[in-house]
Structure 1
Amino acid sequence: MFGFPAEAVFVAALAALAAGFVRGLAGFGLSVVLVPVLQLAIDPRRAVLIGLVSLFLIGLTDVGRIRRDAERSAVPMASLALLATPLGLWGLTTLPADWARLLIALVSLGAFVLVVVPLGRVAVPRLPATAMSGMLTGFFGGFAGMPGPGMAPFYLRGRLEPKAARASMMAIFLVVTPLSALLFVATGTGGWRDAALAGALFPAVLLGDLLGHRAFGRVTRTQWQTAVAIVLGVAALGALGKLLA
């Protein structure tokens, strides 16, 4: 199917269902779950493109929610992310695999620490925090197909309600992912066959996302923050495990 082994497509479908649920609940995390699993069965660069296309397709279902709930910080952050995405793609295609794995592991771990460790009175002014988050979002979108860890600490540490924070992250994904995917195809990093597989996986992603949205409506702010922290923690552990292996 689409030139992939049948077992790879089966694994991808199961991963898409789980990734969709995480995304519906947390507002991000689809690529955090989907891309590492796909990398076990297919080429990592192709897995990144599939993750980006999947993020864009599921983002189209949330346009109404984004327009209603997203916060204005999503605009400058998405703009900066677009500028940094080519740098991430350059890193993906030029860095040795071991260095790439180390960088992904360090950033995943750093995002997790920023979310769960109490910082007391330590705070970064909003403007530098927005700029740093936007650049990291773009870099890791291009480098690993995982924009979420770049922006999650900003929205989790802020004063926004979960509904607004979640919609803001979805808005950034919707802007960044299609242009990132086109850049992948234009540079030959991935192909249309990968995009076709992402389209075939979309029903599984959509089902998981719907279940995640339902779960989000039943959790408190603390439970939502805990769920997001768990997603980041799993990503960090997965990246470290791959590095050690």
Structure 2
Amino acid sequence: MDALAGFTALQLALALGAALAAGFVRGLAGFGLSVVLVPVLQLTMAPQLAVFVGLVSLSLIALTDLGRIRRDADRSSVPFVLVAVAATPLGLWALNALSADLARVLIALVSLGAFVLVVAPMGPLRLPRPVALPLAGIATGFLGGFAGMPGPGMGPFYLRGSFAPRAARASMMAIFLVLSPLSVAFFWWRGVGSWRELVLAALLFPAVLAGDWLGHHAFGRVTTRQWQVATGAVLAVTAMVALGRLL
């Protein structure tokens, strides 16, 4: 297929494996698709294009979550997404302004930060929600635009807050449902991404969908503590792999 010219069979196989794993993480945790997928893709393509493919994948899988969002999402997702949308252009500007090498390093560091922010002890100090929400929303919008990874920004707010796992997961899915298509549209308008990357995202989508189904199935079988530990462990492995390949 002409649209996939330049990708080797090994690269496509690696991308499909990453898409399956990314879908599983996302189905289990409610976020993490781009955290797994983008660091793998950006080792074989420009960071901006890897982010674009990740955002298209997020947009497609988010369409399957409408029922869960209506049923389970917390009301905090509405003001949260408004703040994140306002901050997204800053991340998109940074992605296009920085060099490819620096963007690769920073994207890998975002993967590491997702793990640290979710599982590292925060001490007794806990920010009140009216303060934590806008800070997390700004981080979510910036990281979504810069690395195609809104999850590390919203993860600490929903995973470490007083939210039930089902509500936290559905709330993050609601935020992805709004942010991802907007970012894809902005990338396309700026000329970042082409039909080649859209075809690649479409080919990866069945693997993402299969992994997402497995993740949702696993979510219904684990306790709250098991869910938190599994999410942190997957993010830790992803961060170590991304940093190890760069080093």
TM-score class, shorter:
over 0.9
Aligned residue for 2:177?
A: 174
Task: Quickly say closer, same or farther: Cα 1:209–1:107, change in 2 above 3 A.
Answer: closer
SS at match of 1:174: helix
SS at match of 1:218: coil
Aligned with 2:40 (options 32, 37, 42): 37
Aligned residue for 2:136?
A: 133
Whether 2:221 is the aligned partner of 1:218: answer yes
Whether 2:151 is the aligned partner of 1:145: answer no
Q: How far 1:235 sits from its partner (Å)?
A: 4.0
Q: What are the superposed Cα offsets for residues 93-132 of structure 1, whole Å, 9 maximum, x if unpaired?
A: 1123454345445544444333223334211110121111
Answer with 7-16 or 218-227: which moved more: 7-16
Aligned with 2:61 (options 37, 58, 61): 58
Aligned residue for 1:184?
A: 187
Q: How far 1:36 sits from its partner (Å)?
A: 1.0
Gaps in structure 2 of 5+ consecutive residues: none
Q: How far 1:197 sits from its partner (Å)?
A: 1.7
Answer with 225-234 or 45-54: which moved more: 225-234
Give the share of equivalent positions with the same residue, in percent: 65
Gaps in structure 1 of 5+ consecutive residues: none
Q: How far 1:38 sits from its partner (Å)?
A: 1.1
Q: How far 1:180 sits from its partner (Å)?
A: 0.1
Distance 1:97 1:198 in 2: 21
Q: Which amino acid aligns with 1:41?
A: T
Q: Is the 8 A contact 2:20 2:210 kept in 1?
A: yes
Q: Which amino acid aligns with 1:3?
A: L
Aligned with 1:18 (options 8, 18, 21): 21
SS at match of 1:62: helix
SS at match of 1:61: helix
Q: Is the 8 A contact 1:13 1:204 kept in 2?
A: yes
Q: How far 1:81 sits from its partner (Å)?
A: 1.3
What TM-score results when the alignment is normalised by the length of structure 1? 0.92
Whether 2:207 is the aligned partner of 1:204: answer yes
SS at match of 2:178: helix
Q: How far 1:44 sits from its partner (Å)?
A: 1.8
Q: Give the number of aligned pairs.
A: 244
Alignment of 1:85-164 (within 5 A): 85-164=88-167
What TM-score results when the alignment is normalised by the length of structure 2? 0.91
Answer with 228-237 or 132-141: which moved more: 228-237
Task: Quickly say closer, same or farther: Cα 1:11–1:117, change in 2 above 3 A.
Answer: closer
